[in-house]
Amino acid sequence: MEFSNSCSSFSSSSLDSTKPSPSESSVNLSLSLTFPSTSPQREARQDWPPIKSRLRDTLKGRRLLRRRDDTSLFVKVYMEGVPIGRKLDLCAFSGYESLLENLSHMFDTPIICGKRDRKHHVLTYEDKDGDWMMVGDIPWDMFLETVRRLKITRPERY
């Protein structure tokens, strides 16, 4: 039985890199579901995973509390092009140098601060205003107050 389906009216968004192509079904759909891919820019959704509002709100509140705790500061780290990220406790580092050293070890490639260029992996961070900034511009303590997450960019290609 042939099932046809038109989904041309849906706008295409980029496909999730972890989702394989459609298997042996008779329909070849280009799925452009509304669910965003595993990029770090993904916003917190209110409807997934399926937990009730009370639990969701409680957990959100807890995350804010934990930020103010002096003993640890966990942030997520992504390398561009790699869907699975890592988590890092920034309080474990004394400064930018030890952070870079550790990250380079974690991702098995040299990572630097500074401007994007053709050769290097460069570390950037998202601050509390949601802007992506170069790591290393501000004093380490201030950095700890404002950093939300980290992204390691790939060397630029031409």
Distances from the Cα of 79 to the Cα of 43, 68, 103, 155, angstroms = 18, 27, 10, 11
User: DSSP letters of 26-52?
Assistant: S-------S---S-TTPPPPSSSS---
Which segment (47-55, 96-104, 114-122, 131-139) binds other proteins by CB under 8 A? Answer: 47-55
Which segment (50-58, 129-137, 139-147, 150-158) binds other proteins by CB under 8 A? Answer: 50-58
Which segment (26-34, 103-111, 112-120, 150-158) binds other proteins by CB under 8 A? Answer: 26-34
* Among 12, 45, 137, 142, interactor with other proteins by CB under 8 A: 45
Distances from the Cα of 109 to the Cα of 79, 89, 102, 153, 158, angstroms = 11, 20, 10, 12, 21
- Where do contacts with other proteins occur on this chain (CB under 8 A)? 1-7, 9-10, 16, 18-20, 22-27, 29, 31, 33-35, 38, 40, 42, 44-56, 58-59, 62, 74, 76, 78, 84-87
